[in-house]
Chain A
Amino acid sequence: MDMKRVMRDYFLDLDQAAKDPDRKVAWCTSVGPAEILRAMGFEVFFPENHGAMLGATRVCMETIPKANAFGYSPDICSYLTSDIGAYLKGITPLTKAYGIESIPRPDILVYNTNQCKDVMHWFEYFAREFDAPIFGIHPPTNVPEVEESHIADVVSQFEELIKVLEKMQGRAMKPEDLRRTCALSKEATDLWAEVLETAMARPSPLSFFDSTIYMGPIVVLRGTEVARDYYRVLLTDLKIRVAARVAAVPGESKRIYWDGMPVWGRLRSMSELFKSNQACVVASTYCNSWIFTDFNPDDPLPSMAYAYIKIFINRNDQYKEDYIRKLVDEYEIDGVIFHDAKTCPNNSNSQYNLPSRLRKDGIPAVIINGDLCDLRCYSDEQSSTVIEAFVETL
């Protein structure tokens, strides 16, 4: 299956849905309850994916300043400022990519603060702008362990959301529909986990920079057959590459773990930089964030609540440290690069002494300063010097 086609079909269908009075569109955060929305018949749009597109195309460098001037600080999430700025300017990368005039108008906006609170401010802006209803899931955050009371809390919020959606659609939720979307998500996410695990092979058949592209369907098409089918094909292909010892980085000599967000506007040059240094980024916190193996179609709401609370970004620092150590071991990592993203402190895990704790136990770690979208916060020269020097020292 061709990735470009999968994404094009998704966006074109979404565009059709937005123009069809009989279909409804929900906006959802990237680790929000897409399975519930799809089970209730909504087409789902993910503004973070749009933010990443604005970043990767570097169109954000025109749109972030627009949002800054409008009153959104340069220090807050640059997905938010990229996206709101694009809306203010009346532009979207979807036009160039798929001929779509604008982002789909939301019938409802649903966010989950399991990742950060900026998504709430972001969705609130658009709810005001489109005069659309908004619903927030507010789970307990930074938890060391997920407890029964946390699950019960989030399940009750899911139930409230379902009531709102039922009212909008004029029908009750069919349990079999939720079981189905949950099962499809589970299949896709298990396959995604296997896809990422192929990088345990030496040499690795894929790098972080490939995975940031491959991850499109697991973000925007969870709960659909398309996502599941895409990863089935991808996994087969990667297994063939592993068997044939096809390397993502020819001559792979160092294996790197990447923590934090990608620098979307520099994916290609970063990928080339690592390649030229024969270093392969084989594992990352970011791509692993869409592994939800705890989904259980026989117990959808509690298992979804558990999986969505359990995500890395919503855990305490000790959990994060243990998680990274485990992956360093499993993927035979030579060194860890922490991306300290200026506008994404929630997904920058270098700020509370974690790199120093890893180094103390002999795990080399280094920090680069940058950002997910805002290239004003990023220096090509400085980052490449740090990365190259780090690889030289490993």
Chain B
Amino acid sequence: MDSGHLYWGVDCGSTQIKAVACDNEGRIVEQRIGRTLFPLMEHVRQTLSAGDSGLSPLTDDQQSVKENHTLVATGYGRNHIEFAQATLTEISAHFLGAQELLQLDEPYTIVDIGGQDSKVIEVHDGRVGQFVINRKCAAGTGAFIEDLAHRLEVRLEDMTDLARAHDKEMTLNSYCTVFSGQEVIKILMHGERLENLIHALYASVVQRILEMTNIITGTVVCSGGVMNYNPVLLELFQQELPDNKTRMVENAQYCGAYGAALFARGLAEKQAQKFSQSELRAQSAS
């Protein structure tokens, strides 16, 4: 394979577009982020061209991928990225990213909280076993945190510090964002401290995830943008899973995009092998 070849993963999520490029060795050489806005392709192109390096996988007309680049899309918008050479689900993308970044030999469980869904992915023997995605409701996702932050008129970046300043453990019961909103208002009407309420909100997110499936592996790996932006979630997971080794994957927000980039590298390798085999066959035939 061409040593200058770059492999791009584009994770088109519900709130953000993440792009990662890696080289033949799997080293990350570029990472970019943009908001998921519409028309989608315009914003995907912008994200891919936004780096200081001026490096872009796209041809000048921005309609296709340059020859020495391979691009794979993942995330909810994966099937809408017209120039992607392949697609991969977020489940496999997060697994590939986490596996490469952490190089774990033991079975582990990836917990990925995304903007509109949450996933729990069990990994055994270096491959995905069982996985679960949250049910229809938004509870346990980034959308739930954002919605309640908005109702409480608290900036998202202040949420973790406020939660850490809690002095009381409380429970929010509902599965449903609307019902939870009503619970929140009722609690505030009773004069509860905002810090306690925000802590309860995060605790409920963790609870919703732990209700999705039994975590049976000793190691839990946290991934995804919501975990990245809300580090208190990791602390709460550690608190809830005292017997497990809980760790955050570095650069968690880009883990899915990185996984897709690694998949692009594998794809290019396969194509190169196919090509060299057919060349070999052609040579031997002649």
* A residues apposed to B, CB below 8 Å: 359, 364, 366-367, 369, 377, 379, 381-382, 385-386, 388-390, 392-393
Contacts and interface: CB of A to CB of B under 8 A. Distances in A.
A392 B76 CA distance: 16
Contacts of A390: 131
A392 B93 CA distance: 11
Q: Which 6 A-B pairs have the closest CB atoms?
A: A389-B91, A389-B89, A393-B128, A388-B89, A392-B92, A381-B76
Interface in B73-129: 76, 88-92, 117, 127-129
Nearest to A340: B135
27 contacts: A359-B130, A364-B130, A366-B130, A367-B132, A369-B135, A369-B136, A377-B136, A379-B136, A381-B76, A382-B136, A385-B76, A385-B90, A385-B117, A385-B133, A386-B133, A388-B89, A389-B89, A389-B91, A389-B92, A389-B131, A392-B89, A392-B92, A392-B128, A393-B91, A393-B127, A393-B129, A393-B131
DSSP class of B's interface residues: helix, strand, loop or mixed? Answer: mixed
B74 to A, nearest CB: 10
Contacts, number: 39
B91 A392 contact: yes
Contacts of A392: 88-89, 91-92, 128
Interface of B: 76, 88-92, 117, 127-133, 135-136
A379 B133 CA distance: 12
Contacts of B117: 382, 385
Contacts of B132: 367
Of A377, A389, A390, the most chain B CB neighbours within 10 A belong to A389
Nearest to A367: B132
A385 B136 contact: no
Nearest to A385: B89
Contacts of B91: 385, 389, 392-393
B133 A393 contact: no
Contacts of A377: 136
A389 B92 CA distance: 7
B282 to A, nearest CB: 25
Given A389-B91, A393-B91, 6 more contacts: A359-B130, A367-B132, A381-B76, A385-B117, A389-B89, A392-B88
A381 B132 CA distance: 15
Contacts of A389: 89-92, 128, 131
Nearest to B95: A393
Contacts of B128: 389, 392-393
A391 to B, nearest CB: 9
B130 A382 contact: no
A144 B48 CA distance: 59
A266 to B, nearest CB: 15
Contacts of A379: 136
